[in-house]
Amino acid sequence: MIYDCAIIGGGPAGLNAALVLGRARRSVALIDNNQPRNAVTHASHGFITRDGVTPSEFRRVAYEEVLRYPSVDHLQAEVVSIEKTEPGFEVLDSSGLRVQARKLILATGVKEIFPEIEGFYPLYGKSLFNCPYCDGWELRDQPLVVVSESPGIYHTAKLLLNWSKDIIACTNGHASLTFEQKKWLQSKGIVVIEKLVAAFIGQNGQLEHVQFTDGTQVSRTGGFVSPKFVQSTPFAERLGCEKLGSGGIKTDESGRTSIPGVYAAGDSSYFMPSQLIFAAADGSRTGMCVNMDLTEEDFAIRGHFR
């Protein structure tokens, strides 16, 4: 069997693309390894009708809805390789199963690479986060810290003033802020610390102190740590897809990559902002584009032989 489309990744982008294609009566292989990046998160926010939903519940409901459509098959597997073939693409998974499809959607998302700071991971997803829009409300009016090694710390520190007026901005030893930016942040009451962070100290998931390499500490009850984002899989690069300067997969306004027949949706294509509602919308748009491209191809073939 040759599927109309293989979708790699079962996050909100891949699921919504599968939903659109299933409703269009397209045959779809939705291939996912069941290792969502947001599994550490207790609740997801910002998605109307789903605000506060747990990631596991979101996935459960989404798969239940998508798999109502008989032309959608869910294959829980790790993809090993993807090859271009004459009819389209061949996807090989870790069990040795080979899936052939006319079109391919990469909805594989991104990986976060956080600064190597002791004590971070026991607190991550509980009192330390990476997205103010996702978790700023829950930390409102608390003494917060933002740790970032990139120039984006200036924007994040300003943004956090919407949720708290007690903010410390830490560059973790990097010269991420200009003199003017530091003065402006300080004029708004934001404390700037450019020392290396040695550890986050807390217990039971609750941040209590940020410790620096010189032994000093500051008391904080929550905060945000900015990661670097990289592609979670090498498939776009191996297929030859053009990339953006940010590392995202370059697409047109409908999700088409530079390689014919290959599409990208969700975080893997635009990297930021990383939110459920953005990824789901992008998956919907890309699913519609795939269906339209398949329709045009089928129409042209039928017209040729008539």
214 with 145, same domain? yes
Asked whether the predicted pLDDT for residue 306 surpasses 50, the reply is: no
50 with 194, same domain? no
196 with 242, same domain? no
91 with 141, same domain? no
Q: Please, are residues 42 and 127 in contact by the beta-carbon 8 Å criterion?
A: no
105 with 172, same domain? no
Residue type, 268: S
Number of domains in the chain: 2
290/292 Cα distance (integer angstroms):
5
Asked whether the predicted pLDDT for residue 302 surpasses 90, the reply is: no
10 with 82, same domain? yes
Token look-up 């299933």 returns 22
- Per-residue model confidence (pLDDT) at position 232: 92
- Per-residue model confidence (pLDDT) at position 274: 76
pLDDT in tens, 144-168: 999 999 999 999 999 999 999 999 9
42 with 93, same domain? yes
155 with 53, same domain? no
276/278 Cα distance (integer angstroms):
6
pLDDT in tens, 121-146: 999 999 999 999 999 999 999 999 99
Q: Please, are residues 245 and 221 in contact by the beta-carbon 8 Å criterion?
A: no
pLDDT in tens, 197-227: 999 999 999 999 999 999 999 999 999 999 9
- Per-residue model confidence (pLDDT) at position 197: 98
Work out the average pLDDT over 58-70.
96
235/305 Cα distance (integer angstroms):
35
Asked whether the predicted pLDDT for residue 69 surpasses 50, the reply is: yes
Work out the average pLDDT over 75-83.
95
| Neighbouring C-beta atoms of residue 178, cutoff 10 Å | 11
For residue 91, what is the domain's CATH number?
A: 3.50.50.60
| Neighbouring C-beta atoms of residue 292, cutoff 10 Å | 12
Q: Domain range spanning residue 218?
A: 115-225
Asked whether the predicted pLDDT for residue 272 surpasses 70, the reply is: no
Q: pTM, whole model, 2 decimals?
A: 0.92
